[in-house]
Structure formats: C-alpha cells, structure tokens
A and B are shown apart, each in its own frame.
Chain A
C-alpha cells in the first residue's frame, strides 16, 4: 500500500469520529499555541531590549567612579568616589588612539522654575560632544558650544519633556528659566527619544559642564564619562586604553569602573533568551499533555477498531500497513493541531501585544520548531498504540465483538 492510500485511510478514520478527533486536536492546539505565543512574546521582548540598548550605541563605554574610600576603610557605594575630573575626560581623547570623543557628565536633581511652574528635575552638566556620543539631536535651537564651556555660560538645553512642562505651547527658545535660583537662557530643545532602558534624556536639562561644576554644584568632579570608540570593533581596545590611562592617573583600579555597552547588550540578550526558553519550556509541557491525549485516543481507537484491523489483515494488510495507518492517523491529528496551534499562537500573541503594548516577533524558527515538535509528539505517542494494532492476531481480531 502506498503512502497516499495510508493517508486516505487515516483521514477516514479521523473523520469517522469528528468530535473526538477535534477534542484530541484541541490539546495539541493549546500546546503549540502556547509555545508559539511564548516564543513570540519572548523574542519580541528580546528585540525590544536589544534595540533600546543598541540605540544607545554599542561603541560606547561608560566610566564611573568606584567606591568612596580606599580598601580597608569603610567603603561607600559604587559611583560615590570623587575622583574623575574634566582633565581625565580630555586626556582620554588626547592620549589614546581608539577613543574619538567623550561626554563627561555631572548631574544633580534640583528645582527648576519658569513662569509660575516649579519642577524637580535632573540637571546634567556636559560638553558639546554629548549629542554625538549619546546619539541625540537638537529639535529646536542649538546645543551649547565650546566657547560657552570656556566661559561657563548660563545657557540651558531642555529635554523635550521638560520643555513641554515648562512652556506648554510657547516656544522656550530665548526664555529665562531658574535653576536652583540662578537664571539661565534656554538656547535649545532636544528631540524626543522616549524611555531608553536605564536612560531617559527627555526629562533632563543640559547645561555646560563648567557651568554645572562651578556655578551650580560646586564640585570639580564628574559623575560619569561616556566614551565613544573610533569604531565598533575598537571598543575593547578603547576599554583597555581607558583603563590603563585611569590606572596611571588614579593609581588604583578600585577607584573607577568601566562598563562596555556591547557587553551590556550581550548580557541583556542572553537574559531575555533564557527567559524565552523558560517560558516556552513551560508551554511545551502542555504540548506533552496534548500528546498524551493523542495516545489515549489512539489506544481507544485501536481497541474499537480491532475487527477492522482483523478484516484488513485477512484481505492482505501486513503489520507494517496497519502500523503506518495508525501512525499516520496520530501524526495527522498532531500536525493539524500544530498548524491550528501556530495560527492561534500568532493570534494570541498579537492580541496580547495590542492589549499590553508588548512587541511580538513571530519568527520562522519558532514556527518550524513548533511544527516539528508537534510532529514528534504525534510520532512518539502514536507509535505504541499503532504497534499494538500491528501486532494483533488476525484470527483473534476477527472474532472480537
């Protein structure tokens, strides 16, 4: 008997008990649907995290001061030491080959006021290279320049969120705002970026670094130095060079630490993947339950059709023919469940996405994975009932009532 004849026989077997077949398939639909939905949501989350982090630039290093105090003394929190200065930041560009520009930052949360509005916002002192290094752009007006850094000018560039809050409809350009009681002229507004992982530039106010250090915060130290490598593949070298330079300057590796955005990205992706597989693994358990459902129904079906098996054997079906018939029946059930499961998984993840705003990515890999998983389930759970059918003694089977 050829393959298509076996398929036809199997299909008529399935059609003979439509409701039962449907309920059996339902188990697989739920299993495959859950696997697809989990993989799609997980993959969507991973892509979103990657995009957010990559949007910050993977050629970036972040240098922060280390613990306050030296080993042996009571240690403070990371990032608390007053060690990094504007000179260090300049030296990083001038004395290394792999670093193209840096954006040193110092920031505090202070009171801002304009007109009658008061806000508590973060004021960041930085340099003109900020826009390049942090990949932002100015929507209106301009960013401050090096001359204004030299003179420690009282000019400010607003994040789009702050601009909206302070000057609802009016243009903020040329307006005066008060930062911690001192008046500043607004010279620009940054383009809106939205939340980017741990960084949100929309709610910040940017002033020249020197202005922030001398006129606002009264410090000569920095909170962070963002370092941009000349090229993406020079990030490692930039990290080594920066590390060596700072070690010479500060004399202790405890006093600073360097984060590599590429590594942060890799770690985040790895974490997201792990979660995806965890979720899909849990979903796969329901597929297993669906598979047991198939086995259960196939066993019932084999028993019910004992006489049919006897007739088929008497007219010349070999054990192999019977084995094939029942395996194909199981596989058709599970494959149907697989296909419907993929459809319902896609629909479910789309629905979940439209309700929650989570991104979903239905990848070809996950579809292929789910299909092969459901076929494997059909084969695995179909083989035992089918081999019981194949081994039946034709005389006994013909006598079965």
Chain B
C-alpha cells in the first residue's frame, strides 16, 4: 500500500484565543500505487488540508499516516523535507515557479536539494522538460511563458526526482480550457506510465480524467467511488 491514512484528524488553533477549527475529522483512506485519484468537494471541505498532510507539508493532529509503510506523522521537519524531496512532486494552482530562474533551473530545484551533481542534474531536468513537451523552452523565464507552459514546467519539476506520488492542487484553476485539457492529458499519460496521481479539484469536468473519485464535506469523506 502506498498511502494509508487512519482516522486522521487535523485541528487548527486560530489566533490568540485558541479557537479550535477542525479541518479534518477522522479521515481514513488507502491509495495504491498507480492510482489516479481526484479529491473533490466545496471550499472549506478539508480537501486542501488532506492534500497538505498527504504531501508531508503538514502533520495530522491525531491519527496515523503511513507512506510506503513509514509512519510519517511522527517524523521531524528535516525528515519530512527529505520525503517531500524524494517521494512527492507538487503541482500548484498558481504554478509557484521561481520568477528569476529559467525553466530549466526551476525544474532542477528539487534535485539540487537531493544533492545530485550539476551535470547529471541538467540531463535529468532536460529529460523532464522533454516529457512535458517543453524541451525548447528551457532558457525561458516564467514571465516569458504562457500559463499552460508554466504549469508544464511545474509538472516537469514535480517529475524530475521520480517521486512515487504527484500531488496536484487545482492544477487547471488558473488556465483556459484548452491549456487545462492539455495539462490533464499530461497527467493521464503520466498515470499510464504507472505514476500515482492525486488531484484536488472542484471542477467535475477535470475530475473525469481520474479513475477514482473521493468527495469530501466538512472534513469527512462522504463518497469514494471508482470508474
């Protein structure tokens, strides 16, 4: 099993008065290697929190999270950083590219932190850019690229370190329909190659590219169905 969440609870303490805001209220979820999962739900339903926990950006308040049979809910910040680096690739709605760096340098970023040598890095990054069809744009900076191209760079960055999971948080939210479709096709192909993809979206049309649908409401999973 790739991902195993057991009764995960996440509570945020807001402000000086320690108002407890429950974001996840006991979520149990298993995801196998090679799945293409869409997590859907209205805003405030806890899908982003769930995403952050799966992505090791955050820890559950209660419950356990096993990623490839390791209990990551008890790991230190440093170990979590390492897991984000090796096992998880993020794709964000707002792309989150470094504006001053070229496409190639942006793609290289995760493998710099992985400690890979400069020559090998360049090759890997080029390969990843080729995979998303942007090989000839490697020297462009993000502001010289269209939205769709930027998101492709971000996907290449998520791919470059060969992670077990690609997490995409509303990846088409800032794109026009054509670019959005293109991006989803890339995800589809990546899934065909055997990569696990977890997609957070509120657009039903986008979700149709996935094979499994998880609907959330008020911090709980209310529906879990497969195609």
Q: Which residues of A contact B (CB under 8 A)?
A: 1-2, 5, 12, 16, 307-308, 310-321, 394-395, 398
The reply to whether A318 and B109 contact each other, CB–CB distance below 8 Å, is: no
Asked if A319 meets B112 with Cβ closer than 8 Å, knowing A12-B100, A16-B100, A314-B84, the reply is no
The reply to whether A316 and B82 contact each other, CB–CB distance below 8 Å, is: yes
The reply to whether B52 and A395 contact each other, CB–CB distance below 8 Å, is: yes
Asked if A307 meets B57 with Cβ closer than 8 Å, knowing A316-B81, A316-B84, the reply is no
| Separation of A1 and B111 alpha carbons in the complex (Å) | 9
The reply to whether B85 and A316 contact each other, CB–CB distance below 8 Å, is: yes
Which of these, A16, A308, A398, contacts B92 with CB under 8 Å? A398
- Tell me which residues across on chain B come within 8 A of A316, comparing CB atoms: 81-82, 84-86, 110, 113-114, 161
**B157 contacts the other chain (Cβ, under 8 Å)?**
yes
The reply to whether A315 and B109 contact each other, CB–CB distance below 8 Å, is: yes
**B36 contacts the other chain (Cβ, under 8 Å)?**
no
The reply to whether B78 and A318 contact each other, CB–CB distance below 8 Å, is: yes
3 closest pairs, A vs B, by CB? A316-B85, A318-B81, A315-B110
- Tell me which residues across on chain B come within 8 A of A5, comparing CB atoms: 112
**B115 contacts the other chain (Cβ, under 8 Å)?**
yes
Q: Mark B46-61, 1 if CB is under 8 A from A, else 0.
A: 0000001001011000
**B204 contacts the other chain (Cβ, under 8 Å)?**
no
Which of these, B55, B98, B115, contacts A308 with CB under 8 Å? B98
Asked if A2 meets B115 with Cβ closer than 8 Å, knowing A314-B90, A315-B90, A319-B77, the reply is yes
**B96 contacts the other chain (Cβ, under 8 Å)?**
yes
| A377, chain B: closest CB distance, angstroms | 27
Q: Across the two chains, which residue of chain B brings its CB closest to A13?
A: B100
Asked if A311 meets B81 with Cβ closer than 8 Å, knowing A5-B112, A316-B113, A394-B57, the reply is no
| B165, chain A: closest CB distance, angstroms | 13
Beyond A308-B98, A311-B98, A317-B85: 9 further Cβ-contacts under 8 Å? A16-B100, A314-B96, A315-B85, A315-B157, A316-B161, A317-B113, A318-B81, A321-B81, A398-B92
- Tell me which residues across on chain B come within 8 A of A12, comparing CB atoms: 100-101
Q: Mark B120-148, 1 if CB is under 8 A from A, else 0.
A: 00000000000000000000000000000
The reply to whether A315 and B115 contact each other, CB–CB distance below 8 Å, is: no
The reply to whether A315 and B98 contact each other, CB–CB distance below 8 Å, is: no
The reply to whether B77 and A318 contact each other, CB–CB distance below 8 Å, is: yes
- Tell me which residues across on chain A come within 8 A of B58, comparing CB atoms: 395
- Tell me which residues across on chain A come within 8 A of B161, comparing CB atoms: 316
The reply to whether B78 and A320 contact each other, CB–CB distance below 8 Å, is: yes
The reply to whether B57 and A395 contact each other, CB–CB distance below 8 Å, is: yes
| Separation of A318 and B82 alpha carbons in the complex (Å) | 7
Q: Across the two chains, which residue of chain B brings its CB closest to A398?
A: B96
A-B contacts, 7 of them at CB < 8 A, read A1-B115, A12-B101, A316-B110, A317-B81, A317-B113, A319-B78, A395-B58
| Separation of A308 and B97 alpha carbons in the complex (Å) | 8
- Tell me which residues across on chain B come within 8 A of A312, comparing CB atoms: 109, 113
Q: Which of B58, B84, B101, B115 is most buried by chain A, counting CB atoms within 10 A of its CB?
A: B84
Q: Which of A16, A315, A394, A398 is most buried by chain B, counting CB atoms within 10 A of its CB?
A: A315
| Separation of A312 and B97 alpha carbons in the complex (Å) | 10
| A20, chain B: closest CB distance, angstroms | 14
Q: Across the two chains, which residue of chain B brings its CB closest to A308?
A: B98
- Tell me which residues across on chain A come within 8 A of B85, comparing CB atoms: 315-317
Q: Across the two chains, which residue of chain B brings its CB closest to A1?
A: B113
The reply to whether A321 and B113 contact each other, CB–CB distance below 8 Å, is: yes
| Separation of A344 and B100 alpha carbons in the complex (Å) | 33
| B139, chain A: closest CB distance, angstroms | 16
| Separation of A311 and B82 alpha carbons in the complex (Å) | 14
| Separation of A237 and B157 alpha carbons in the complex (Å) | 83
| B4, chain A: closest CB distance, angstroms | 22
Q: Across the two chains, which residue of chain B brings its CB closest to A314?
A: B90
| Separation of A308 and B52 alpha carbons in the complex (Å) | 18
- Tell me which residues across on chain A come within 8 A of B110, comparing CB atoms: 315-316
| Separation of A12 and B85 alpha carbons in the complex (Å) | 22
| B110, chain A: closest CB distance, angstroms | 4
| Separation of A5 and B97 alpha carbons in the complex (Å) | 18
| B168, chain A: closest CB distance, angstroms | 13
- Tell me which residues across on chain A come within 8 A of B84, comparing CB atoms: 313-316
The reply to whether B98 and A313 contact each other, CB–CB distance below 8 Å, is: no
Which of these, A308, A310, A315, A394, contacts B113 with CB under 8 Å? A315
| Separation of A313 and B96 alpha carbons in the complex (Å) | 12
| Separation of A16 and B84 alpha carbons in the complex (Å) | 27
- Tell me which residues across on chain A come within 8 A of B157, comparing CB atoms: 315
| A271, chain B: closest CB distance, angstroms | 55
| Separation of A310 and B84 alpha carbons in the complex (Å) | 12
Q: Mark B86-112, 1 if CB is under 8 A from A, else 0.
A: 100010100011101100000001101
| Separation of A316 and B57 alpha carbons in the complex (Å) | 10
Q: Across the two chains, which residue of chain A brings its CB closest to B90?
A: A314
| Separation of A318 and B110 alpha carbons in the complex (Å) | 11
- Tell me which residues across on chain A come within 8 A of B78, comparing CB atoms: 318-320
| Separation of A313 and B52 alpha carbons in the complex (Å) | 13
| A285, chain B: closest CB distance, angstroms | 36
- Tell me which residues across on chain B come within 8 A of A307, comparing CB atoms: 96
